[in-house]
């Protein structure tokens, strides 16, 4: 198993919650009011699991190593991925700002929330495809076995020191609760690919 397998597995969970966010916006547009509890949970998931943990590992661990092995940052795929991470953060902030009034039924806030959410959904789905099918295979080709092992170790250290025990289980549960609430298909996670899983000694996340 490679570090990019961990990242791809996380992508599947992120896609699950993107599908939930899509359902949340559909209900919001239909009902004229935002389900603020579900929206807050989705935003918390994206801020912590998708951005701080998943994107954090890419920006702090994967990307620097890839650049050191010859993959371009400026005017290259790494720089593009980093730029899209920032665009995602802006969209999340926009959803957060619009959420309180959207939950009260304010039509302007509803329109803003839905617009930011749709933008974020499109951005992340496209971003994930680029990483899964272009960047990650490129990274795996330039990394030695030693590089892969080093990256696994740094992922594990990040998991233990930056995120804390139980964090990922918490957000995986949020992802599944949202899926249950909105009738979205849940990802079947292999235990060895679940970030922070405590019953195995390989790196998770």
The mean pLDDT value of the chain amounts to: 91
Domain ranges of the chain: 3-193
pLDDT of residue 188: 82
In the predicted model, is pLDDT for residue 151 greater than 90? yes
Q: Please report which confidence band the pLDDT of residue 143 belongs to, taking 50, 70 and 90 as the band edges.
A: very high
**Given 2.40.400.10, 3.40.50.1970, 3.30.70.890, 1.20.120.520, which CATH number is that of 3-193?**
1.20.120.520
Nearest CA to 183 out of 46, 34, 22 is that of: 22
- In total, the chain counts a number of residues equal to 205
From CA 115, how far away is CA 44, in angstroms rounded?
Answer: 18
Token pair belonging to 133:
């099918």
Q: How confident is the model at residue 96 (pLDDT cuts 50, 70, 90)?
A: very high
Q: φ and ψ at 204, to 5 degrees? A: -125, 105
Contacts of 87 (CB under 8 A, 6+ apart): 123
How much of the chain is helix, strand and coil, in % rounded to 5? 80, 0, 20
Exposure string over 87-116, b if 16+ CB within 10 A, otherwise e? ebeebbebbeebbebbbeebeebbebbbeb
* Predicted confidence (pLDDT) at residue 191 exceeds the cutoff of 80: no
Q: Is the pLDDT of residue 42 over 60?
A: yes
Q: What average pLDDT score do residues 161-186 get?
A: 89
Q: How far apart are CA 203 and CA 195, in angstroms?
A: 8
């Amino acid at each position: 198993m490679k570090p990019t397998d961990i990242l791809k597995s996380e992508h599947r969970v992120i896609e699950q919650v993107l599908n939930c966010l899509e359902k949340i916006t559909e209900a919001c547009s239909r009902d004229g009011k935002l389900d603020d509890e579900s929206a807050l949970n989705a935003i918390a998931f994206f801020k912590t699991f998708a951005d701080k943990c998943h994107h954090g590992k890419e920006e702090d661990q994967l990307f620097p190593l890839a650049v050191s092995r010859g993959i371009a940052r400026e005017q290259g795929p790494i720089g593009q991925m980093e730029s899209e991470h920032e665009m995602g953060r802006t969209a999340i902030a926009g959803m957060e700002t619009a959420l309180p009034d959207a939950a009260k039924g304010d039509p302007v806030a509803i329109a803003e929330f839905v617009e930011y959410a749709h933008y974020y959904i499109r951005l992340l789905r496209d971003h994930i495809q680029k990483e899964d099918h272009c960047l990650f295979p490129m990274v795996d080709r330039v990394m030695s076995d030693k590089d892969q092992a080093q990256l696994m170790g740094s992922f594990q250290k990040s998991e233990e020191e930056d995120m804390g025990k139980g964090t990922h289980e918490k957000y995986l549960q949020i992802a599944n609760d949202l899926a249950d609430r909105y009738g979205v298909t849940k990802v079947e996670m292999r235990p060895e690919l679940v970030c922070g899983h405590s019953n195995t000694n390989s790196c998770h996340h």
